[in-house]
Copies of this chain bind each other. A is one copy, B any other.
Amino acid sequence: MSKSVITIYDIARSLGISPSTVSRALKDDSIISIETRKKVKQTAREMGYQPNSIASSLRNKKTLTIGVITHRIDRHFQSNAISGIQDKAHEHGYNIIICQTNDDPTRELKQFQALFSSRIDGLISQLSMYTRDYEHFNLFLENDIPVVLFDRVPRDLDVQKVVSDDVAGGYKATEHLILQGCRRIAHFTGALSLNIYEDRLKGYKAALEKYQIPFDPELVHEFYLNTDNSWEVARKVLKDKKNRPDSIFAANDTSAIASIQVAKELGIGVPSELAVVGYANDPSGLIVSPTLSTVDQSSYRMGQIATELLLKQIDSNKPGRNRPHRTKVLPVELIIRESSSRRLP
């Protein structure tokens, strides 16, 4: 920083009044005469004054900043949620600091500490893939700093949570495939230790049961759902002519799209011979051909709601505001496109 930055002392000196008056005038304190207020603001503008929020935060013990931690910012779901958070935060005069961990536990811990050191007023976070211990959350919880988790949440940590209705999502996707005439529905899922995948599987099972289709564990494939792995698993599954499924419900769109591409490669018709439904409504679902049926999670809204809950906690300025907690569950919507539409509308 340069020394030439203007402070309220400079304004005060220039007007021959005290810094206190300047401070009050700048925030339109009605106790200061309208005239003085006008003069101060005018001078501030002329001198190019910009408040030092570091100083103000130190004094106020309030930074008007919300920290956001996620593993990646470049996925549709995350970036949309972040937009929701940002919009809602700005609406209430809060800024946000976005941190991405790249699913690296070391970096994640550093980010938590850095945000704590920055004395953020609250934290919104999505769990990273491999977070096993929640020690770093205690940093915030023990110091009574509000935390809201979204999407991926640990069942056993008592914090405010916002999730989407993954059971319903799994159910809707699976039921839709059944209604299209599918009977051997494969399910590609991520780590079942994560609530989101566990719940989607639950929904899948529930739909099967409802339509009296026996659950076959052989049809469930659990792996890290990136493109490479999905290609590999899809190839294995679809090449096995004898046991080949008639459809795939994938727990994310990356994996569903890879499945479609493998089917094409193997000359398997989609949706005629293989119907596919993904999850998360990524824009690339509209690029793949046939277009991908998927489940939309209204991620923008999720970000907004997480922020509302957080701000409510921040405002309720009592110790112990961090509890009790309810988990807020948002509805999902099945979006039917070509990849699963055997009967055209």
Binds B, one of A27-35, A57-65, A216-224: A57-65
Identify the closest chain B residue to A77 (Cβ): B74
In the complex, the answer to whether B54 meets A2 with C-beta atoms within 8 Å is no
**Residue A272 interfacial (CB < 8 Å):** no
Nearest-neighbour CB distance to chain B for A98, whole angstroms, equals: 4
Q: Residue A53 contacts which of B90, B110, B118, B287 (CB distance < 8 angstroms)?
A: B118
Q: Which residues of B contact A119 (CB under 8 A)?
A: 1, 52-54
Q: How far is the CA of A163 from the CA of B54 in the complex (A)?
A: 33
**Residue A143 interfacial (CB < 8 Å):** yes
In the complex, the answer to whether B74 meets A63 with C-beta atoms within 8 Å is no
Nearest-neighbour CB distance to chain B for A307, whole angstroms, equals: 15
**Residue A17 interfacial (CB < 8 Å):** no
Identify the closest chain B residue to A116 (Cβ): B50
Identify the closest chain B residue to A97 (Cβ): B97
In the complex, the answer to whether B51 meets A117 with C-beta atoms within 8 Å is yes
**Residue A48 interfacial (CB < 8 Å):** yes
Q: Which residues of B contact A83 (CB under 8 A)?
A: 100, 102
Q: Which residues of B contact A257 (CB under 8 A)?
A: 287
Number of interface residues of A (CB under 8 A): 56
In the complex, the answer to whether A139 meets B289 with C-beta atoms within 8 Å is no
Q: Which residues of B contact A121 (CB under 8 A)?
A: 1
Q: How far is the CA of A117 from the CA of B93 in the complex (A)?
A: 14
Q: Which residues of B contact A144 (CB under 8 A)?
A: 2, 4
**Residue A82 interfacial (CB < 8 Å):** yes
Nearest-neighbour CB distance to chain B for A123, whole angstroms, equals: 13
Q: A74-B80, A79-B74, A289-B289 are in contact. Are A4 and B50 (CB under 8 A)?
A: no
Q: A98-B98, A287-B284 are in contact. Are A319 and B116 (CB under 8 A)?
A: no
Nearest-neighbour CB distance to chain B for A115, whole angstroms, equals: 9
**Residue A179 interfacial (CB < 8 Å):** no
**Residue A195 interfacial (CB < 8 Å):** no
Q: Which residues of B contact A143 (CB under 8 A)?
A: 1-2, 4-5
**Residue A95 interfacial (CB < 8 Å):** yes
Extra A-B contacts (17), CB below 8 Å, given A4-B144, A50-B117:
A1-B62, A1-B143, A2-B319, A5-B143, A48-B139, A51-B117, A52-B58, A53-B118, A54-B54, A54-B63, A73-B74, A73-B79, A73-B98, A74-B74, A97-B98, A284-B284, A289-B289
Residues of A near any B CB (own CB < 8 A): 1-2, 4-5, 48, 50-55, 57-58, 61-63, 72-76, 78-80, 82-83, 86, 90, 95, 97-98, 100, 102, 107, 110, 113-114, 116-119, 121, 139, 142-145, 257, 261, 264, 283-284, 287-289, 319
21 contacts between A and B (CB under 8 A): A1-B145, A2-B145, A2-B319, A4-B144, A5-B143, A52-B58, A53-B117, A54-B118, A73-B73, A73-B74, A73-B79, A74-B78, A82-B100, A83-B100, A83-B102, A90-B107, A90-B110, A95-B118, A284-B287, A288-B289, A289-B289
**Sorted from nearest, which 6 A-B pairs have the closest CB atoms?**
A74-B79, A2-B144, A53-B117, A98-B98, A1-B61, A54-B58
